Structure 1
Amino acid sequence: MNNALIPADLDRDITLIAERYCKAGGVGIQVLNLLGGQAENLLERLPDPVKDRLEEATTKALNVALKAASRSRGVLPDQGLWLNTVAATAMGAAGGAGGLPTALAELPVTTTVLLRAIQGIAKEYGFDPNDPEIQAECLQVFAAAGPLSDDDGADMGFLSARVTLTGAAVQSIIARIAPRLSAALGQKLAAQAVPIIGAVAGAATNYAYTSYYQEMAHVHFGLMRAGQQHGVARAQLVLRLSDAVKLAKR
């Protein structure tokens, strides 16, 4: 991309967003060090019946989270990022303490906390979380690869998609998100099922996932706001961000 076409202040914004993107990708390292394994091996630890129903469980968790997050906005104000992280970490510890049964039960609760955190970040950037289009954008953040993934920016395609949440379209959006999110959450469940240290692993993975998706929400809505402020198309911004991420990783 020709950087001469990018205003200097927008270029600075893109650089800061790229730093957040890179930061998000590094939060899983501590979890892998704790578990002493590789992310790609975690899913193999899950029993076959759980793996077979993982996408279905993720779809249900997303539906529950969307309804619960929307209802709770009128009752509970947005919390600070640290409080979201503390709450999710505590739930991860509780979920991991009982192995897979409690970890599966905890899944929709954690997903709801994550979605509320994403909605709060959207509001921070000047967007209305009650707007159906912004609700769709919040869901889209879950399309990013999970914190235990290392795909060198290949998941940036989620930033290019623009979706609108109207009627039955929500199920179409969730159906597109669920396969990728289920793979990420499957790694989380496998970590929580580690013998003896399940509670510690659950807390660590939830900390990593909450930190990751909050950072990716900053990337997502930071890019949206930059596009609106400078009148630059989203596709052009994503390309520029991709270049900035590559530079930051050198």
Structure 2
Amino acid sequence: MTVLPPLPEHLAEQAGFLTDHERRQLWEAAVLMADSRRVLVRLTALFGRQIEGIRAAMFQAGEKIGGQLWADLVQKAQDAVEDVLWNSYGYATFGLGAAPYLVRPKQPRKNLIHRLATTASGVASGFVGLPGAIVDIPFTTTTILRSIAEVARDSGEDLSSEDTRRACLEVLAFGGPGESGDEMETGYWAARLGVSHLTINLLIRSAAGQFGLILSEKLLAQMVPVAGAVTGGLLNYSFTDYYQSMAKVHFCLRALERRTGDAAAVKLAFETMLRAARERRRIGRHRRQIAPVMLRAR
């Protein structure tokens, strides 16, 4: 796990309406969003060429036929996700206790077991190719939802409430791990604003549309048996890790908004911290780039 860098003093002063502990929580959420494109998530870019190659092969059979095959794949993935979301939504806690812990952890747990479970599912489905998706999509979706719900519970949310159940579903509507940092931040606030007034029916459709498209591209990347096992496992791990991170950010912000009663101030403080967290990453990359040059010059 990445060691949390210290919060710059000028940022602590700007977030003076928060307690020391809350400022640290908000800074941790900002660093988490800035670092969310980790090594495994970056692997999705490597599989992009494989996805495009398979998609091109589909279209070689004829644009109309290939286009229909792709559209059918996306629709089936979205339908499968929507079915799982409807079934899971019927259970307020996604299989967990309805009441939050009397003594909660200081921060949400790592939930490594969920990442390992979806990785195993991706590997298993990849060995048999596309037919394995029949099991992989429902299992991965349900496991990620459960992981999101556990993050919500650890953050002090009441899993028996309608609002919390909606918030768990919202996490899946906040875009995917393939987006750049700026797109992800914009997507988060835009999606959060967009889904805030949706009925639960439309919210589930929105989440299924976002997550189903991501899964359909993953399915293309693991169409080749055996080789697809590695692809499926790595992508499932990165997806689960990404949505766990987004859940931690989302429920941290919700908790601070509830406590302070000033959502605008929390958003402003978070955006300021996020810019600082991204700048720290740019400086770090620059230092790593110039270090080999300096060594060669010696």
Fold similarity call, TM over 0.5: yes
Q: In the alignment, is residue 44 of structure 1 matched against residue 73 of structure 2? A: no
Q: How does 1:135-154 map to 2 (within 5 A)?
A: 135-150=165-180, 152=182, 153-154=185-186
1:125 Cα shift? 0.8
Counterpart of 1:66 (choices 76, 89, 92) is 89
Cα deviation, residue 31, structure 1: 3.9
Shift of 1:56: 2.6
> In the alignment, what sits opposite 2:275?
246
TM-score by length of 1: 0.81
Identical pairs, percent = 28
TM-score with structure 2 length normalisation? 0.69
Q: Given the alignment, which residue of 27, 32, 42 partners 1:29?
A: 42
Aligned-pair CA distance for 1:55: 2.8
Aligned to 1:143, the other structure's residue is in SS state: coil
Whichever of the two has the greater Rg, that structure is 2
Residue 230 of structure 2 corresponds to 200
1:28 touches 1:208 (CA, 8 Å); kept in 2? yes
Residue in 1 that maps onto 2:29 = 17
Instruction: Return 5+ residue gaps in structure 1 as ranges.
Output: none
CA distance in 1, matches of 2:51, 2:122: 20
Measure how far apart 1:135 and its partner are.
0.5
- 2:217 corresponds to which of 187, 206, 216: 187
Is contact 1:54–1:186 with CA below 8 Å preserved after alignment?
yes
How many Å separate the matches in 2 of 1:244 and 1:80? Answer: 23
Any conservation in 1 of the 2:176–2:211 contact (CA below 8 Å)? yes
1:142 alignment partner AA? L
Is contact 2:94–2:149 with CA below 8 Å preserved after alignment? no
Q: Does 1:155 find its partner at 2:187?
A: yes
1:176-199 Cα deviation digits (max 9, x unpaired): 222222222222222222454111
Change (3 A) 1:149 1:65: farther
Structure 2: runs of 5+ lacking an equivalent: 1-10, 59-68, 102-108, 280-298
Contact 1:69–1:116 (CA<8 Å) still a contact in 2? no
Greater displacement, 125-134 / 189-198: 189-198
Does structure 2 conserve the Cα–Cα contact (< 8 Å) formed by 1:65 and 1:109? no
**1:39–1:149 contact (8 Å) kept in structure 2:** no
Q: Which has the larger displacement, 210-219 or 224-233?
A: 224-233
Q: CA deviation at 1:110?
A: 1.0
Q: What CA distance in whole angstroms lies between the structure 1 residues aligned with 2:132 and 2:194?
A: 34
**Greater RCO structure (CA 8 Å; 6+ sep):** 1
Q: Cα distance, 1:91 vs. partner?
A: 1.1
Alignment of 1:65-104 (within 5 A): 65-67=88-90, 70=93, 72-73=95-96, 81-104=111-134
1:105 lines up with 2:135 in the alignment: yes
Root mean square deviation, CA, Å:
3.2
222-231 or 188-197, which moves further after superposition? Answer: 188-197
| AA at the equivalent of 1:156 | Y
